[in-house]
Amino acid sequence: MEYSSLLFDHHASPENGLERSSYGFLHDIHMDKVIQDILKGKEEYELESLFYNKLESIETIRYRLAIIEEIDNAISVHAMASFSQRMSKVRQYVQYSQSSPDYDQQMKWLLDAAHLYCQTIMELHRNMAIADLQSLGLKHFYKWLEHYTHSSYFTTLSKKTFELHQQFNEIRFSLTLSDGKINLSKTDNDQDYCRSLSNVFLQGLEYDEHSDIRLSAGLQFSDVEKNILSVIKKQYARLFHTLRNYYTTYIDFIDSSIMRFDREIQFYVASLEYFQALKNKGSSYSYPVIRGTKELHIKGGYDLSLASSALHAGLPIVGNHFDLAANERVCVLTGPNQGGKTTFARSLGQIFHLSSIGCPVPCEEATLFEFDRIFTHFPTQEQPGSTSGKLKDELARLKPIMDQFTSRSIILLNELFFTTTTHDAYAMGSRVLENFLQQGAMCLYVTHIFELATSHKQIVSLVAITDELDPARRTFRIRRQPADGLVDASSIVRKYDLTPQRLKERISL
């Protein structure tokens, strides 16, 4: 029976995506830092491309979302994480087997690896058997796992592995040190008379009869251990002969599909561990609904990079609501500096990107639409040695966006043309917005030029509001309302003590 991928349904081409040069938007929205946090400790699985490349098919997005939500609610991420941890140990044992210079050690490490492997597969089967699986991906995998665990290969492997492992566990021997020699003899497991007699004499006394003696400090045998093993092999010759036959038969016992499942499940485990950690600190997450229409609904959206840093500082996170009708495409966001505008733009980009790879999103609810690409244009530091001006650099970075965006694109522009005059910034910004309106692309334009919010009648005006009683205090709330540059100016006047009354008082002095 063929294994079906947990990451790609039949609509998707596995792990094909954008050119590396197209990932710049992830840096602007701090998604690159978020991905690093998600994948911390998972480097061996090489999952970066899964978090960088959006899925092209809405069916594949829904395929992943159904799987991750079911793991979250029906199976538990702990069960899947436990499977992965044990499989990691299996691979470690196999590595010990392959690297050991001693043939007997190679064989025994392989037996130990196979023993843990069989236990791990059977436990995974039990955990999935008791779950009422609904997602297509997990149902397909469980059907494959059911077939594999009942196959003649696995049943024979597990039977021989458990029997042989038990026989080695039952080996007991005693070491006697006398006159500079070590004497080795079998121990009678049925009746150890010396131990029984010792227990009689030591009753009621505080005495620990167990003392550990390490013959070697590492994985390699010491000379003493090699000599001991040579004696044991003579006494259990038939058992070691069985081990040699087992080793040659099952040297490649790990099924390739199990290895693939182990890697693919990490995408879901890593995502859920990251978001559950945020939830435990008070930040919510949800599973987005992706529709073919243009409506947008986000409730309580927040910036993941800010949430991570704020959680470390113990500060609360402010979530924002955002709704757009199908005919509303372009928004201009204005408000005072440090009022949450850039954070809001980042959160919007993060929500859309995470939804496009089939992950939970940082908000309470999200109803989103399909898109082809995310374009961003955020302020950058001037490069040393650059001979062009800041405005020219801005235009050079803007040109590819204007050439490549479509009606299905999402464009996030943050303080575009901030290096030029207000008049020129308004003129150029108005032309840019007009292009987006004509093509029907969704754009969030963050700017300090509040007049742009009324430059076209189709534009939706958003404002980063301040406290009604104290305009200088930021609330970090984003509201849909007409732009008002006077509020921002008023807060600046108050901040620098330039109110008319204070100016009169100072002049009179």
| pLDDT (tens digit per residue) in 240-271 | 999 999 999 999 999 999 999 999 999 999 99
Per 3-state DSSP, what percentage of the chain is helix, strand, and coil (rounded to 5)?
A: 55, 15, 35
Give the integer Cα–Cα distance in Å for 44 and 25: 26
pLDDT for the residue 200: 63
Greater pLDDT, 73 or 199: 73
Q: How confident is the model at residue 29 (pLDDT cuts 50, 70, 90)?
A: very high
Does residue 163 have a pLDDT over 90?
Answer: yes
Question: Which tens digit of pLDDT belongs to each residue from 447-487?
Answer: 999 999 999 999 999 999 988 887 778 889 999 999 876 65
d(CA 184, CA 247): 27
Strand (E) or helix (H) holding 333? strand 330-334
Q: How many CA atoms lie within 13 A of 378 on its CB side?
A: 17
Which one has a higher pLDDT value, 367 or 206? 367
- CA dist 68 and 72 (Å) reads 6
Q: Of 139-153, 230-244, 276-290, 381-395, which gets the smallest average pLDDT?
A: 381-395
CA angle 226, 231, 157 (to 5 degrees): 80
Give the separation between CA 379 and CA 394, rounded to whole angstroms: 8
Alpha carbon distances (Å) from 486 to 64, 266, 449, 493, 496? 47, 51, 12, 10, 15
- What integer pLDDT is reported at residue 492 of this predicted model? 65
Model's pTM, two decimal places? 0.86
H or E segment at 299?
Answer: strand 296-301
DSSP 85-133: HHHHHHHHHHHHHHH-S-HHHHHHHHHHHHHHHHHHHHHHHHHHHTS--
Which amino acid, residue 302?
Y
Question: Strands (DSSP E) along 378-486, which ranges?
Answer: 410-414, 442-446, 460-466, 474-480
CB 297 within 8 A of CB 365: yes
Residue 19 has pLDDT above 60, yes or no: no
Cα gap 358→364, rounded to integer Å: 16
- Sign of dihedral through CA atoms 456, 460, 466, 469? positive
CA distance 436 to 429: 11
**CA-wise closest residue to 445 among 342, 340, 298, 316:** 342
Please name the amino acid found at residue 223.
D
* pLDDT score at 389: 75
For 31-42, what is the mean pLDDT?
95
Q: What is the pLDDT of residue 189?
A: 56
d(C-alpha 29, C-alpha 271), whole Å: 18
Given a cut of 60, whether residue 382 has pLDDT beyond it is no
Give me the mean pLDDT over the 405-431 stretch. 93
pLDDT at 235: 82
What value does the mean pLDDT take over residues 122-149?
Answer: 96
Percent of the chain with pLDDT over 70: 85
User: How confident is the model over 198-202, as a mean pLDDT?
Assistant: 64
- Distance of alpha carbon 171 from alpha carbon 237, whole angstroms: 12
- pLDDT category of residue 333 using cuts at 50, 70 and 90: very high
**CA distance linking residue 191 with residue 403, whole number of Å:** 86
Looking only at the bridges linking them, the beta strands covering 330-334 and 442-446 are: parallel
Alpha-carbon distance of 23 to 264, in angstroms, equals 22
The Cα–Cα gap between 88 and 84 comes to 6
Rg (CA), the chain: 33
**CA atoms lying within 13 Å on the CB side of residue 468:** 0
Q: What is the mean pLDDT of residues 32-38?
A: 96
